[in-house]
Structure 1
Amino acid sequence: MTPTIGFIYAHPDDETFLSACLIKQLVHEGEQPVLLLATKGDAGKKNGYVAHLSNEELAALRVQEMEQAAEILGLTVIEHLGHPDGKLNQVDETLFIEQVAEFINKYQLKVIFSFPEDGGNFHPDHMAISKMATLAVLSGKCPSVQKLYYCISNTLLQQGHEPSISVDTMPQWEIKAKALRAHASQILAIERYFGDLSLCPENRRYESFVLGWERGVLWPQKRELSVLDDLI
């Protein structure tokens, strides 16, 4: 199986927050999605049992947690660029775009997922990796890419964009919750967003994505049954 679909995010746990059930569904369908993370999460808020860790120690722990979550989701390829957490907007743009393009070209990816321009929550790192993923795709440096999706955000909705594809997490909630728990160092942030993980919260039920670019066309208005629809 050759990888077709790539997820490009900022931190370990972004993949589970935003797309755990989509990833698991793709794996179940026989796909081999791959993941690129711009940081190792070394500046993630340190609470509880990890409060004493240095940034380097936290980074090592979060890489281990990412591996555990990946095993749950069926991800077999995770690459870390290792840029400083919280400082992605300070990374040399030319270098950054080249690194993202190199990842895409390494696996000849046809479909890319990332944050929207506003980062979903205006987190500077989320916004930075969205920009780099977008520029890499639109630059022409990644000729294999046919589709670029963005995770839904309030800004996109306010701009009139509607999800091109949505995944109901309720049937797979136990898997998503297990992957979230694997990111144990971030459990306080996770529980602030999802609650205690015992039940699928209705306001976090769907993983939704907007097709922002398809073979040269920006914001094609379409609903899809699969992210593989209309690939050449």
Structure 2
Amino acid sequence: MAEQRVSQLGLTVRGFTGGPFAQNSYLVVCVETKLGILVDAGAAAGEMLRTADAEGVRIEQIVLTHAHLDHMDGLPLAKRESRAPVLLHPEDEPLYYAAPTQAQRFGMEMEPLPPLDGRLSHGEMVRVGNCELQVRHTPGHAPGHVILVGDGLALVGDCVFAGSIGRTDLPGGDLQQLMKSIRTQILTLSDETALYTGHGPETTVGHERVSNPFLVPDLGGRGFA
């Protein structure tokens, strides 16, 4: 479990890592109201739910950044225990309903996923108690990939990592789209913005802008000139 951080918005953001892919899922909570959301529901979903229960947090929504197996293999449990609506961008619905095929590809078994309850769209606001996070559509790693952006923070799924970017060799991946998403939706944020990633440690926009080898031309990346 990652260290809890309090954002300028009055939110706490805590990461939980689990499973063979070491995937990060996040419990995001409004400090004032004790209402929260889950951002992705990977193998650490049980730990997130136990933490929420112990702290008196009510989970109001489960937001999926995208529909790859490692970001939703704990979703059946999360849905069953929280009864919260599950939200996904519509362009990732085919991947969502192909979860059994994804599991088979990696030699894994997976409990059937619950029906989706709602669709995310670019620019809409996701409420977390008295706070809000903006949905931004960031295709490239997956067709319906989204990030959630607030003042001083962004939950970026598998769009960008500390020192790397999301892979684009899976079905629906597109490197040009991914680079455009990073350029227009992430690197336009302030350098101080904390990036909570789907794998690996937290980073910042400023750090990735000058040190990520996939983004900086002098380090061998494509760059954005």
Check whether TM > 0.5: no
Relative contact order higher in (CA < 8 Å, ≥ 6 apart)? 1
Larger proportion of strand: 2
Which one has a larger percent helix, Structure 1 or Structure 2? 1
TM-score by length of 2: 0.31
